[in-house]
Structure 1
Amino acid sequence: MGKTNTMKPKLPFEIRKKQFYALSLLGIFIVIFQLSYLVYKGKQETKFPEIHFTNSNEPQLFLTEFDPNQLNEKQWENLGFTAKQVKTILKYKEIVGGNFTSKEQLKKCYSISEEKFAELEPYILLPEDNSKNSKKNFTKFEHKELQIKGKFNPDLYSQKDWENLGFSEKQAAAIIKYKQYLGGSFVSKEKFKECFIISPENYQKLSPFLLLPEKTPENFERKYQNIASEKPKIQYFEFDPNSLDTNGWQKLGFSEKQASVIVNYRERNLKGSFKSLEDIKKCFVISEEKFNELKPYIKLNLIQKASENTAQNIPEKAKPTTDFSKIDLNKITFQQLIEFGFDEKSAASFIGFRNKLGGFMKSSHVLETYNIDKNLAEKLINISPLNNMNVQKFSLLDAPEDWLKNHPYFRYYANKIIYYRISFPKESTIFEKMKAKPEDEAKMRLYLK
């Protein structure tokens, strides 16, 4: 019996020993698995796909002031983001506390590229950063309460009506543009809601008062295409093609780019003037159909005959010799440049470049003329004086958009200037933001007040 009693405790101990080893191995295996999973998950979360924005197929955006905290998914997509990017932006918004508190914070969202942020920044209703001074200056972006008097048809509202309703001037203008983009009508409450500057909160207030169908008609796409394809009616007027600038040609139905081509064709190829109707017809951006529409309004014959008679009545020997030491570089004519020794191509380039600048501010600018004889140009600027008192100047804050986009020294920075001057009232800040090359900035400042 003694032997039997001494053998009994050993059996449970061996079993417990094996159980302990098995549980230890299982625990080690679980820990290793968890660590491996965490490492794998971390790698997956930190390797974000690189996002690029392309401009080739982006829809036209009607940008105006907006609060990014009030935008829903559809409105973010209307700003040019993909559905995937929008989800990331909204998730980031939750991570930072449910609201963006500054532009600086929004900029850190990796789904918004630097290029896209620069495009949107002037319109974002947020302070620059979280500093106290920035928040004090942000008071101008406070939203007005909508003043809704009763039911209304938004298709009949003018820009002033939208302003009276409580929207800012820029927001009201954008709403009108959006209506035009749709073809002249909001069509339905669904389409009205898609206007990205109308926040969900404001839509909820407006919706009961909108005299619009709830749903968009099924044939809306077809109607929109028909409306978009209609040509605007043009009010033609009598004009002299030799005195018409780019704005004048645009009033006759040409695009900004086509108008520039016509003016360049006249200044460079035809030495500053159309000599006949045939010259106008040969310009490749003027179709035969368009030329026939313009022909009854062109007043060129009298000018042409007068110039021919003047040329015929002045004998070659009787033509005076020009004293170039008294001829202002900003007033020298095509014929005088020919007399000085320039060929026709160089003379036309000289006149064309001077017209685009609005006049030379420095004699050295003459040397930047395309296709000019540099040696002859240096000789001219050493002889002829320059009077720049009558050269038109603007400030960056009030310069017309057409002037900025067509001026040789401003056109490469025009879009940035137009964006930044909305939010920044000082020229020094605008120059700082657009990061122009020092030599470009020096040239631009010559044409600023």
Structure 2
Amino acid sequence: MLSKIIKFTVMRKTYYAKLAVVGILLTVLFTFQYYTGRDKEDFSGVKFITEPPAEIILTEFDPNELDAGQWQNLGFTERQVATILNYRKVVGGKFISKEQLKKCFAISEDKFSILAPYVLLPETGQAAKSNHFSNHEKKAISISGSFNPDRYSAADWQKMGFSEKQAAAILKYKTYLGGSFISKEKFKECFIISDENFRKISPYLLLPEKTPAGSGPDGKSMNSGNRKIRYYAFDPNTLDLEGWKAFGFSERQAQTIVNYRDRNLKGNFKSVEDLQKCFVISPEKFAELKPFIRLNTADTAANISRQKPETRQQEETDFSKVDLNSITFRQLIEFGFDEKAAGSMIGFRKKLGGFVTKEQILTTYNIDPELTKKLLSTAQLNTSNVQKYTLTEAPEEWLKNHPYFKYSADKIIFYRLSEKDERKIWKLLKVKPEYEARMKLYLK
């Protein structure tokens, strides 16, 4: 009897054990089917952020002066900013060295490496003690009345209460925007303007509250002063400085056009194409102007083309002795170039300040590649008179007018205010390798 009871108990345990195993297997199977069956789930509402963050224009700063808004303008989140400000309180209310600032865990190593060159603090706490470092006293902002910030000089900003470097940074930021702050909204984005100072200044700014519609992606105005331009029929050979400005050009651009006409072309645009070649007139702007151009002067180029060949080629040129950096318009015509191609080559050479490599000439617009290659294989190239500069010493006007530098000119001018190491400036510029190689042709 006892053996039967024991046998029955063993059989029942075996039954429940098998039942438990089957239950586990079924659970695993249903779970597997559930997750493998999710491939049809709709993820159309999920969006991935691929747009790069807005570029931050940096200048020298004292981290002890920054408020929460300015730290956020440097690219930190609200939570990170709160951590930085709390950490500043913990260390006694002010940072005394870069070494101490770096220890704040809310500032990553990569972020600190970007900010470090601009931080106005000694490298270490020991250096701070040995140099008796102390923060300079903040000067209160003083505003006398309403003003247009676009017209303020560095001296005006300093008179208001900003330091010399802060004033320079404000002006460079204006240049970065295209020469105008455009709106209070854009003015506020200047890193050096704290929220507190903006609240003080804002009521006195003679600027619209918001960036007007029609401004470019970087806040740059698409027309002069955001006013509507009214075109009328005109002769570019008689239009004065004010006339060009009325068509939406800045004073500097207008002066460049007048100088190009009076000096380079000896007083006359000989064709509509001559006007188009002026580098301050963009293709879009030229398209706007073209229907209104009434060129009444005689076309000298056409007169040249009507001359007999023997009068144009009285003396045959030995092109093996000709320097490509001094070859003339007449010699290019003699070699076989048409007037448009010859003018383009001379104009491009002038903008560059001279060719450094023969390959550059092949990038000239309007030329016949095969004829140009023939010229390059025949003529010489002397580069001894080509002007070159270092990135930190290049004149602003040269940077802004040079075809290879003009699109990065404002950034170069801005970054070199506080950075003298050219390698670091190149890193900040973030230009494509092929553009950097092209620019370095004209650097020492």
What does residue 143 of structure 1 align with? 136
Deviations 1:190-228 (A, max 9, x none): x98x9753568x869x97xx8969xx9xxx998545699
What does residue 6 of structure 2 align with? none
The residue type equivalent to 1:275 in the other structure is S
SS state at 1:422 partner:
coil
Residue pairs, 1:228-247, within 5 angstroms: 231-232=226-227, 239=236
Residue pairs, 1:210-359, within 5 angstroms: 224=210, 231-232=226-227, 239=236, 252-253=247-248, 275-276=271-272, 285-286=284-285, 290-291=289-290, 295=293, 300-302=295-297, 304-312=298-306, 314-320=307-313, 321-333=316-328, 336-337=331-332, 339-340=334-335, 350-351=345-346, 353-359=348-354
SS state at 1:423 partner:
coil
Name the count of aligned residue pairs: 355
Contact 1:367 1:374 in 2 (8 A): yes
State the TM-score, normalized to the length of structure 2: 0.53
Distance 1:287 1:374 in 2: 26
Q: Is residue 2:145 matched to residue 1:153?
A: yes
**Structure 2 residue runs without a partner (length 5+):** 1-48, 216-224, 258-268, 277-281
Distance 1:137 1:446 in 2: 45
What does residue 163 of structure 1 align with? 158
The residue type equivalent to 2:299 in the other structure is K
SS state at 1:70 partner:
coil
The residue type equivalent to 2:309 in the other structure is E
Contact 2:325 2:349 in 1 (8 A): yes
Relative to structure 1, the CA distance from residue 212 to residue 223 in structure 2 (aligned partners, 3 Å threshold; closer, same or farther) is closer
Q: Cα distance, 1:318 vs. partner? A: 3.3
Q: Cα distance, 1:167 vs. partner? A: 2.0
The residue type equivalent to 1:307 in the other structure is A
The residue type equivalent to 2:311 in the other structure is A
The residue type equivalent to 1:331 in the other structure is S
Relative to structure 1, the CA distance from residue 405 to residue 350 in structure 2 (aligned partners, 3 Å threshold; closer, same or farther) is same
SS state at 2:284 partner:
coil
**Structure 1 residue runs without a partner (length 5+):** 1-51, 263-272
Q: Is residue 2:65 matched to residue 1:70?
A: yes
Distance 2:107 2:343 in 1: 47
Contact 1:70 1:199 in 2 (8 A): no
Relative to structure 1, the CA distance from residue 432 to residue 156 in structure 2 (aligned partners, 3 Å threshold; closer, same or farther) is closer
The residue type equivalent to 2:248 in the other structure is G
Deviations 1:308-337 (A, max 9, x none): 22332x212433133213432123245644
Deviations 1:246-295 (A, max 9, x none): xx98995259xx99xx9xxxxxxxxxx87348996xx8613776556x64
Distance 1:196 1:436 in 2: 23
Distance 1:93 1:146 in 2: 21
Distance 1:138 1:401 in 2: 35
Identity %: 47
Q: Cα distance, 1:386 vs. partner? A: 3.4
Contact 1:155 1:184 in 2 (8 A): no
SS state at 2:416 partner:
helix
Residue pairs, 1:21-100, within 5 angstroms: 54-55=51-52, 58=54, 64-90=59-85, 93=88, 99-100=94-95
SS state at 1:125 partner:
coil
Q: Cα distance, 1:93 vs. partner? A: 5.0
Contact 2:169 2:414 in 1 (8 A): no
Relative to structure 1, the CA distance from residue 89 to residue 400 in structure 2 (aligned partners, 3 Å threshold; closer, same or farther) is farther
SS state at 1:301 partner:
coil
Q: Cα distance, 1:339 vs. partner? A: 4.3
The residue type equivalent to 2:356 in the other structure is M
Q: Is residue 2:383 matched to residue 1:384?
A: no
More helix by share: 1
Contact 1:53 1:113 in 2 (8 A): no
Deviations 1:89-108 (A, max 9, x none): 44565677764455566567
Contact 2:184 2:202 in 1 (8 A): no
Q: Cα distance, 1:69 vs. partner? A: 2.3
Relative to structure 1, the CA distance from residue 95 to residue 418 in structure 2 (aligned partners, 3 Å threshold; closer, same or farther) is farther
Distance 2:103 2:366 in 1: 47
